[in-house]
Amino acid sequence: MNGKHLVKLGLEKKAIALAQTAAAARETAGLARDEILAELRAVQADPAAYLAGGVYADLAAELSAQQAARDALKGAELRAAPLPYPVWGQDLIEPGARSQMDVAMRLPVSRAGALMPDAHVGYGLPIGGVLATENAVIPYGVGVDIGCSMMLSVLPVAPGALHAEDGKALLLKHTRFGAGVAFDKRDRQDHEVLHEGTWQDQPLLRHLFEKAATQIGTSGSGNHFVEFGTFTLADADLGLEAGEYLAVLSHSGSRGFGAQVAGHFTTLAERRHPGLDPAAKKLAWLPLDSEDGQAYWQAMNLAGRYALANHDLIHARLARALNVQPLAQVRNSHNLAWEQEVGGQNLIVHRKGATPAEAGQLGLIPGSMADPGYVVRGLGNRDALGSASHGAGRVLGRKAAERTLAKKDVQAYLAARGVTLIGGGIDEAPQAYKRIEEVLARQGDLVDVVGRFTPQIVRMDTGSEDV
């Protein structure tokens, strides 16, 4: 018995050495070469049957491990070509975002997808990407800011009644911005979401509860904002008469809590798919019917409710300060996954920077710090998997915006529209975004416009270079 015989059997690497050891033992026991080779073939055919013990146990264990590795690789193989998917506003979308969506549509778990007109490059799935998978949830298909969402409160106040200085003071007093920011102990907010039993269901959630409790009611950094503005209804809707109203619009997420949930489960998903094509590394998934998949689903949905609770508290504080009750409210999550029927199949629909837009469903699509945002009503377009854009979408990345935009041009843009800005980095300048009117024009078959919000007093986090 020599190595050549074993290689001929198809044995590889460590298995050859283990087979040689076993074969030597069998030769000592008096077996002929052909008899030993027959035994080795039997072990190869069904290694599981030899795991329990005996001379072939170590070889059987190695062969089982090799088979498991091959299975994992096979299960993670990308399709040669992406499944076809529709694109809205192709002329507004950079090639990089298309490439990312192409990779997503090559995943073995992908079944359908769509790209919204605000699409731009992100980690894993592009921002503005909608992806339907079968029995799989992709942490980076939801994004780092799980549950990132929008909320509008229409107030029983005339738009002109709130002066810029007063509005500015209210925002400074009642909102908190920035990475790591939390409320002081005496100002700590409370909300029913903090009293859910869900926090006790996972060690990770138990661990993150304290952070979540201190940060609830705050806003983050980047493109998050809280603003006062004028809400204009051309026709009666939302239970309101046509007209102009003072309104509060906010964009906020699940803060450090959601970010850590995303990070934790992304690590687990990547670990589960070591053989995944490097191009799809950030699209590693968790089987929904696995323990990890179920844990992510639970944590993701909690982060979604937590993010909406942040909005609730922000709006409640501002309304209380103005001594009013909102007349109408609209809210929607745009970074989340949902169980949804797609072509008769129950799939997981990821929206990473995409607004749910089922028939009749209300949503909010903001423009920029100085451009209008829109209340929309979904048309339930099946090709778009019942989705629309989540905003205007970036035309300049953060660094490109800092490099190319001039502060005075941004200030002029704000001044021309009468916008008062607190904080706000140049990377969030209106010029860094696509024109919201164009983006809306590309999705006339996804949503109807209900009303228009024009920002007047805007608070954002302090950028690396403020406007």
Which residue among the candidates 174, 191, 311, 390 is catalytic per the annotation?
A: 390
Q: How many whole angstroms separate alpha carbon 418 and alpha carbon 456?
A: 7
Q: How many whole angstroms separate alpha carbon 405 and alpha carbon 318?
A: 33
- Those residues whose C-beta lies under 8 Å from the C-beta of residue 135, and which sit 6 or more positions away, are 109, 287, 288, 289, 348
Six token digits for residue 425: 């980095």
The site that binds DNA (CB under 7 A) totals a number of residues, namely 29
The kind and range of the H/E element at 394 are none
Given the complex with DNA, which of 82 and 258 has the nearer CB atom? 258
Q: Which of 264, 311, 317, 334 binds DNA (CB under 7 A)?
A: 264
Least CB distance to DNA at residue 369 (A)? 12
Residue 278 C-alpha from the chain's centroid? 20
Q: How many whole angstroms separate alpha carbon 56 and alpha carbon 68?
A: 18
Binding flag, residue 259, DNA (CB under 7 A)? yes
Is 350 a known active-site residue?
no
Given the complex with DNA, which of 44 and 221 has the nearer CB atom? 221
Q: Which of 220, 326, 386, 455 binds DNA (CB under 7 A)?
A: 220
Q: How many whole angstroms separate alpha carbon 417 and alpha carbon 295?
A: 46
- Those residues whose C-beta lies under 8 Å from the C-beta of residue 186, and which sit 6 or more positions away, are none
Least CB distance to DNA at residue 144 (A)? 3
Least CB distance to DNA at residue 147 (A)? 11
> What torsion, rounded to 10 degrees, do the Cα atoms 76, 81, 85, 89 define?
120
**226 appears as a binding residue in the annotation:** yes
Contacts (CB under 7 A) with DNA, residues 130-159: 144-145, 148
Least CB distance to DNA at residue 258 (A)? 7
Given the complex with DNA, which of 144 and 193 has the nearer CB atom? 144
Six token digits for residue 443: 């999705």
User: Exposure of 291 by Cβ count < 10 A (0-12 exposed, 13-18 middle, 19+ buried)?
Assistant: exposed
**392 appears as a binding residue in the annotation:** yes
Give yes or no for a contact between 252 and 310, defined as CB atoms under 8 angstroms apart. yes
Given the complex with DNA, which of 57 and 181 has the nearer CB atom? 181
Q: Which of 204, 324, 327, 395 binds DNA (CB under 7 A)?
A: 204
Residues in the chain: 467
The kind and range of the H/E element at 164 are helix 164-174
Site track 157-186 with DNA (rule: CB under 7 A), x = hit: ---------------------xxxxx----
Given the complex with DNA, which of 41 and 207 has the nearer CB atom? 207
Q: Which of 90, 267, 325, 411 binds DNA (CB under 7 A)?
A: 267
Sign of the alpha-carbon dihedral angle for 304, 305, 307, 311:
positive
Q: Which of 223, 381, 389, 443 binds DNA (CB under 7 A)?
A: 223
Contacts (CB under 7 A) with DNA, residues 84-123: 123
Q: How many whole angstroms separate alpha carbon 147 and alpha carbon 261?
A: 11
**174 appears as a binding residue in the annotation:** no
**34 appears as a binding residue in the annotation:** no
Q: How many whole angstroms separate alpha carbon 313 and alpha carbon 305?
A: 12
**24 appears as a binding residue in the annotation:** no
**22 appears as a binding residue in the annotation:** no
Cβ–Cβ contacts within 10 Å for residue 26, how many?
A: 18
Annotated binding site: 145, 223-227, 251, 334-335, 366-369, 390-393
Annotated binding site for GMP: 223-227, 334-335, 366-369, 390-393
Q: Which residues are catalytic?
A: 390
Binding site for DNA (CB under 7 A): 123, 144-145, 148, 178-182, 203-204, 207, 211, 215, 220-224, 253, 255-256, 259-260, 262-264, 267, 461
Annotated binding site for Mn(2+): 145, 224, 251, 334
